[in-house]
Amino acid sequence: MIVIPDFSQDFFALFGLRRAYRIDAAQLDQAYHEMQGRVHPDRHAHLPETERRLSMQWATQVNEAYRTLKKPLLRAHYLLRLAGAETDHENNTAMSPAFLMEQMEWREAVAEARAAGEHHELEKLMQRLERHGGEILAEVERSLDAKKDYEMAADAVRRLMFIEKLEHEIQDALEALESQD
Amino acid sequence: MSAAPHQHRLAVGIDLGTTNSIVATVRNGIAVVLQDEVGRSLLPSIVRYKADGGVDVGYAAQGTQASDPRNTIVSAKRFMGRGLKDVSHIESMPYDFLDAEGMVRLRTVAGVKSPVEVSAEILKSLRIRAEASLGGELVGAVITVPAYFDDAQRQATKDAAKLAGLNVLRLLNEPTAAAIAYGLDNAAEGVYAVFDLGGGTFDISILKLSRGVFEVLATNGDATLGGDDFDQRVYCWILDDAKIRFPSIEDTRRLLLKAREAKEMLTSHDVAPIHVGLGTGEQVDLTLKIDTFADITRTLISKTLGPARKALRDAGLTVNDVKGVVMVGGATRMPQVQRAVAEYFKQEPLTNLDPEKVVALGAAMQANVLAGNRAGADDWLLLDVIPLSLGMETMGGLTEKVIPRNSTIPIAKAQEFTTFKDGQTAMSFHVVQGERELVSDCRSLAKFELRGIPPMVAGAARIRVTFQVDADGLLAVSAREMTSGVEASIMVKPSYGLTDGEIAGMLKESIDHVGDDVQARNLREQQVEAERLVEAVEAALAADGRLLRASERADIDEEIASLKMRIAGSDHRAIKAGIDSLNAATQDFAARRMDQGIKRALTGQKIVEFKI
């Protein structure tokens, strides 16, 4: 007998976690594996078509829930949504001029390092950016978990989205340099 | 839920290889390769079609490669899900190719055959071997595919299995199958890399093994790199050294076979003699030294390291995190491959398993469990990923990624689109796979149309397109107009192919051309934007032109003409300036249309804003 997960609850409840930004990653992994162990299509491959289709749907939802909680930025987004505070990232592009300035500087540094073929420099930029992202994530955690200040959290999440985009740019640049080797 | 022993359901794992195929099963709890009646484990993936309609498969067909090359099909796996223009080195192949919808065909003495039919002959032969050996009908089979196979290649493989009378329990990625066999045998825990260099394909997968969970973190590869390419290099060296100019197709086959023998000999010797009598009466007598062999194949080896780097990067790991490297595929027997892997991963690769059998053994273990023979110890869970991003064509030939590569399957994602013309009742969709920004650089998987959308103002329809990838890695796409419930769906089948080189190079190119893509993307975006604006303004003029004085009308017409000229150019900034200028020129006009209470106009917006 399969115990079907209750998909009407939020993702935190689904995995038996407290609804907060700070989560126990090992506990999430374990809950995810345990749940996929029950619903995954491989467990139902010998059953009739209907069961197999249902199992695919369950497994799909469990994967989606896991991915949302696993990635810090998605998790923060999701918490804001649950709290009714959208980040409104499609429309709200009003970032502080200081932040935008900083972004431009980062971007220029990446472009320069790429043009000069500075593999090492790109890696250093990546490390700095990751540290910077980590600091903002700490801010997110403080404003979500301690202060419950969703406006502040949403602002930090918007900044993180810029950072993530930059990280992708650095990765692309690194791969481009490597394939020239 | 586990079945009692006497209810054991017969299931097999099949490694459908480019060069050789293998069938295995779990007997008394142990995975074993099923041999033919004379004790051979491998089945050469060769099919010969005969004039009397008969078909030889495997060793029976091996002997006629050189004497009847046109009807003796080798390496059919390379043609699966591929169009004529996709197959590389087609000019040096002895077959009579026919172009056809979706996939290339081969004209043989027994009629026109598709690669799916050829593969089905191999699978059928293995099914018969298994049923004879196990003494009963099979409940189902797990068929392995290269992890880097795209949707079209996977679909073709599944079709071949069905044609062979097999119930497909699952398509399983080859490196993942190997990881199961290795991981269960060695109770392995931690991060492992599976380096799988087969006859015609290369995969690298990074997996995390923990407490019975096999989780693929990332996969990468090259769908056109394998042992065959090493044979080809030796063949070219022979032609060069023996000064053979235009070999016949029979001699080509003969020399390729000798090339392979020499390659295999060099795994355990320092020199390999090559003696061949050609159809022309010429005699070729050469000696291939191991150093020469390493020299002529160096670039092939280095082609495996790029994907390895990318897979690790996608997994968010470095070589220091990798606890072991499992070697899979006959081509990993070559000492220079093992050396390169050891050097890159900073550790000796694991070669304690038979690299040619490990995939079939892992597939057999998975088949046993999927068939419902799960016993207490078989409690493992497999979490695999898709190798290449899936997306849709959007305006201007750009790709919109819907599901990124290395997403855990099964997965579903929905994206909303809208109409961009007033009264539009149909919308076509183009599903693509690959990493590049331009649709023309990705693999086209399917095209379909959603019809019967109720006429609405542009931008009012909400069309939700859903991508669902199942546990076989196969994609199904459906589209639904949300306000009316009109639905269209499609199980993606290959529409047409890319060149083989494109598949192999898709990732590489997406990286090499990031700069080009951004340029091209900017231009396309502005062009699309400008075309939409012109269309909207012209429609508004046709409907309400009477609201304008002649001079106002002339100004707008002039702006339109100017913008149209800029659209034809390639300066995205000039187009942007033209858009702004036309917007400014139509602002009063838009206001007047709204004053009139024209229903289509949305309050407080300029013309440009009611068409998206």
CATH code assigned at A125: 1.20.1280.20
Q: Is B15 a catalytic residue?
A: yes
Residue B110 at interface with chain A, using a CB cutoff of 8 Å: no
Provide the token pair at B266.
């060099």
Looking at per-residue pLDDT, the higher value among A1 and B44 belongs to: B44
Distance CA B40, CA B346 (A): 36
User: Contacts of residue A173 in chain B, CB cutoff 8 Å?
Assistant: 514
Residue B389 at interface with chain A, using a CB cutoff of 8 Å: no
Distance CA B498, CA B444 (A): 8
Q: Which helix (H) or strand (E) holds B554?
A: helix B550-568
The model's confidence at residue B569, banded by pLDDT at 50, 70 and 90, is confident
**Contact call for residues B329 and B197 (beta carbons, < 8 A):** yes
CA B471-B444-B390 angle, to 5 degrees, is 40
Of the candidates A122, A125, A123, A152, the residue with the CA atom closest to the CA atom of residue A140? A152
User: Contacts of residue B408 in chain A, CB cutoff 8 Å?
Assistant: 63, 66-67
Which one of A36, A174, A178 has the shortest CB-CB distance to B381?
A36
Q: Please state the separation of Cα B539 from the chain's center in Å.
A: 43
The rounded radius of gyration (Å) of the Cα atoms in chain A is: 20
Restricting to B residues 420-479, those with a Cβ less than 8 Å away from any Cβ of A are 468, 470-471
Q: Which helix (H) or strand (E) holds B141?
A: strand B140-145
Residues A117 and A154 reside in one and the same domain: yes
The model's confidence at residue B453, banded by pLDDT at 50, 70 and 90, is confident
- Containing structural domain, residue A135: 97-180
Provide the token pair at B514.
């990031």
Q: Is B595 a catalytic residue?
A: no
Q: Which residues contact B154 (CB under 8 A, 6 or more apart)?
A: B81, B145, B171, B472, B473, B474
Determine whether the interchain pair B372/A46 forms a contact, defined as Cβ–Cβ distance below 8 Å: yes
Task: Tell me, yes or no, whether A81 lies in a domain.
Answer: no
The ipTM assigned to this model is 0.90
CATH for the stretch B517-610 = 1.20.1270.10
Of the candidates B407, B402, B404, the residue with the CA atom closest to the CA atom of residue B429? B402
User: Contacts of residue A33 in chain B, CB cutoff 8 Å?
Assistant: 211, 213, 381
CA B15-B18-B24 angle, to 5 degrees, is 15
Q: Which of B56, B68, B77, B393 is the catalytic position?
A: B77
Determine whether the interchain pair B514/A176 forms a contact, defined as Cβ–Cβ distance below 8 Å: yes
**Hey, what long-range contacts does A68-72 have (CB within 8 A, 24 or more apart)?**
A68/A11, A69/A11, A69/A12, A69/A15, A69/A17, A69/A23, A69/A28, A70/A25, A70/A28, A72/A21, A72/A137, A72/A140
Domain B390-512 has CATH 2.60.34.10: yes
Average pLDDT of the residues in A75-90: 83
Q: Please state the separation of Cα B133 from the chain's center in Å.
A: 34
Residues A104 and A156 reside in one and the same domain: yes
Q: pLDDT tens-digit profile of A129-172? A: 999 999 999 999 999 999 999 999 999 998 998 899 899 888 87
Provide the token pair at B330.
């006959």
Q: Which residues contact A171 (CB under 8 A, 6 or more apart)?
A: A126, B313
Which of A70, A87, A110 is the last residue in one of the domains? A70
Backbone angles phi, psi at B482, to 5 degrees: -75, -30
The model's confidence at residue B497, banded by pLDDT at 50, 70 and 90, is very low
**Contact call for residues A36 and A52 (beta carbons, < 8 A):** no
Q: pLDDT tens-digit profile of A15-57? A: 999 999 999 999 999 999 999 999 999 998 888 888 888 899 9
Looking at per-residue pLDDT, the higher value among B608 and B245 belongs to: B245
Distance CA A87, CA B521 (A): 27
pLDDT, residue A22, reads 96
Determine whether the interchain pair B371/A36 forms a contact, defined as Cβ–Cβ distance below 8 Å: no
Ranked by mean pLDDT, the top range of A51-60, A163-172, B18-27, B493-502 is B18-27
DSSP character string of B465-530 = EEEEE-TTS-EEEEEEETTT--EEEEE--------HHHHHHHHHHHHHTHHHHHHHHHHHHHHHHH
Looking at per-residue pLDDT, the higher value among A87 and B224 belongs to: B224
The model's confidence at residue B573, banded by pLDDT at 50, 70 and 90, is confident
Average pLDDT of the residues in B188-214: 95
Of chain B, the percentage scoring pLDDT greater than 90 comes to 53
Q: Measured between alpha carbons, how far is residue B229 from residues A81, A173, B256 in Å?
A: 53, 30, 10
B376 C-beta neighbours (distance < 10 Å), count: 6
What is the domain count for chain A? 2
Residues A39 and A104 reside in one and the same domain: no
Residues A66 and A116 reside in one and the same domain: no
- Which of B208, B214, B370, B516 has the highest number of chain A CBs within 10 A, making it the mutation to test binding with A? B370
Task: Tell me, yes or no, whether A86 lies in a domain.
Answer: no
Task: Tell me, yes or no, whether A6 lies in a domain.
Answer: no
pLDDT of residue B125 exceeding 70, the answer is: yes
The model's confidence at residue B602, banded by pLDDT at 50, 70 and 90, is very low
Of the candidates B551, B536, B550, B532, the residue with the CA atom closest to the CA atom of residue B590? B536
- Distance (Å) from the alpha carbon of B326 to chain A's nearest alpha carbon: 24
pLDDT of residue B374 exceeding 70, the answer is: yes
Task: Tell me, yes or no, whether A75 lies in a domain.
Answer: no
Which one of A45, A56, A64 has the shortest CB-CB distance to B169?
A45
Q: Please state the separation of Cα A147 from the chain's center in Å.
A: 21
Range with lowest mean pLDDT among A81-85, A99-103, B274-278, B589-593: B589-593
pLDDT, residue A42, reads 93
pLDDT, residue B496, reads 31
Query: Locate tokens 């070559």: which residue?
Result: B334
pLDDT, residue B595, reads 63
pLDDT of residue B452 exceeding 60, the answer is: yes
**Contact call for residues B288 and B237 (beta carbons, < 8 A):** yes
Q: pLDDT tens-digit profile of B543-552? A: 888 888 888 8
Q: Which helix (H) or strand (E) holds B539?
A: helix B514-544
- Distance (Å) from the alpha carbon of B215 to chain A's nearest alpha carbon: 10
The model's confidence at residue B53, banded by pLDDT at 50, 70 and 90, is confident
Phi-psi domain of B127 (left: phi exceeds 0; alpha: psi -120 through 50; beta: other): alpha
Residues A66 and A101 reside in one and the same domain: no
Can you give the CATH number for the domain in which A45 is found? 1.10.287.110
CATH for the stretch B5-226+299-383 = 3.30.420.40
- Which of B304, B309, B466, B511 has the highest number of chain A CBs within 10 A, making it the mutation to test binding with A? B511
**Contact call for residues B195 and B332 (beta carbons, < 8 A):** yes
Of the candidates A100, A106, A25, A173, the residue with the CA atom closest to the CA atom of residue B511? A173
Q: Which residues contact A139 (CB under 8 A, 6 or more apart)?
A: A152, A156
Domain boundaries, chain B: 5-226+299-383, 390-512, 517-610
pLDDT, residue B565, reads 84
- Distance (Å) from the alpha carbon of A20 to chain B's nearest alpha carbon: 24
- Distance (Å) from the alpha carbon of A130 to chain B's nearest alpha carbon: 13
- Which of B514, B517, B518, B521 has the highest number of chain A CBs within 10 A, making it the mutation to test binding with A? B514
